[in-house]
Amino acid sequence: MKFLDLAKVTIRSGSGGNGCASFRREKYIEFGGPDGGDGGTGGDVWAEVVPALNTLIDFRYQQHFFAGNGKPGMGKQRTGKDGDDIVLKVPQGTEILEDDGETVIADLTEIGQKVLLAKGGNGGWGNLRFKSSTNQSPRKANPGQPGVEREIWLRLKLIADAGLAGLPNAGKSTFLSATSNARPKIADYPFTTLHPNLGVVGVDQKEFVLADIPGLIEGASEGRGLGDQFLGHIERCAVLLHLVDGTAEDVAEDFRIIDRELELYSDIVYAKPRVVGLNKIDALTDEEIAEKREALQQAAGARVYLLSAASGKGVTEVLRALWTEISAQRTEAAAEDEDDAPWQP
């Protein structure tokens, strides 16, 4: 299944059916009069989060979603049939935006969450509705209300507890492959990862979801390389793992490049807790490790973890550091939910 995280679609709710203007006049039955029924209500357009989806690829092949129109009313006080609703089935983590691509209509983060995108038009009243003591034979009936048509954007931001960041070939995909059952593409050339990958990682009988995004390069915020189009997938993460290639000539500069791109992209992403790891230490001597660790610590202003994703050395310590941040944020979120819960005697 191909990965697609942005799609533009056109939706339209159903129009209401017209009311009916008719009169009842039957042989041997007295007191005839108006008996026109109301029109049916137009169908609504909904978006619903369903399980087992992690891409918006279906919306590449269908971009128009129209709900059914309400049927017109009929004589003998018969109401027209309501139009059928239509539901856009989206993966967890989908944002729905206005046509401007910025105004958020809804942020769907829970399985089963459902939101109304376009309300169907009401059906028109039949002439029976207008009968009164002063108007015994109304010939008036209302038309149905038109449906609502609009263009919206669907933008997917994957739900993950931790996210990987770093330059191409920093070893992010190798780390994900070594710590989970995910099998991302791994090769010795840059940009082997062309779309985000998710993996479930376990440490000390605890599990969390780790997201790997394509590598960033200097100028990504200006569209260089794959740009920063995939950074949205780590906006929901509790913590970032910033991997630096230990075999690079200047590890401090490599760190600063990614640090600068994260800052230019979003203050929210830049402010997230970060675990810094010096990767590929299996290819370095002890002197090189000490020298590069010191340089990286000065650039990052934080502890630097030593690891080799290929050999597994130091990986457990990094996972424990990630889990510490994730656990702290989960505890904080649970406390906030408890405070927001209504008081019960």
Asked whether residue 225 is marked as a ligand-binding residue, the answer is no
Rg of the chain taking only CA atoms, in angstroms:
29
Question: How many other CB atoms are found less than 10 A from the CB of residue 270?
Answer: 15
Asked whether residue 281 is marked as a ligand-binding residue, the answer is yes
Residue pointed to by tokens 């994900």: 176
Q: How far apart are CA 15 and CA 154, in angstroms?
A: 24
Sign of the alpha-carbon torsion through 186, 228, 303, 275: negative
Asked whether residue 279 is marked as a ligand-binding residue, the answer is yes
How are the residues of the chain apportioned to helix, strand and coil, as percentages rounded to the nearest 5? 25, 25, 50
Asked whether residue 213 is marked as a ligand-binding residue, the answer is yes
Asked whether residue 169 is marked as a ligand-binding residue, the answer is yes
Helices assigned H by DSSP within the chain: 58-61, 172-179, 251-265, 267-270, 286-300, 315-340
Residues in the chain: 345
Name the region of 77 (left: φ>0; alpha: ψ -120 to 50; beta: rest).
left
Tell me if residue 269 falls in helix, strand or coil.
Answer: helix
CA distances from 264 to 32, 164, 244, 260 (A): 75, 17, 19, 6
Asked whether residue 309 is marked as a ligand-binding residue, the answer is yes
CA distances from 273 to 26, 164, 234, 265 (A): 80, 12, 12, 16
With CA atoms as reference, report the closest residue to 281 among 170, 191, 184.
170
Q: How far apart are CA 296 and CA 304, in angstroms?
A: 7
Asked whether residue 173 is marked as a ligand-binding residue, the answer is yes
Asked whether residue 342 is marked as a ligand-binding residue, the answer is no
Asked whether residue 171 is marked as a ligand-binding residue, the answer is yes
Asked whether residue 280 is marked as a ligand-binding residue, the answer is yes
With CA atoms as reference, report the closest residue to 187 among 229, 215, 228.
215
Name the binding residues for Mg(2+). 173, 193
Name the binding residues for GTP. 166-173, 191-195, 212-215, 279-282, 308-310
Name the binding residues. 166-173, 191-195, 212-215, 279-282, 308-310
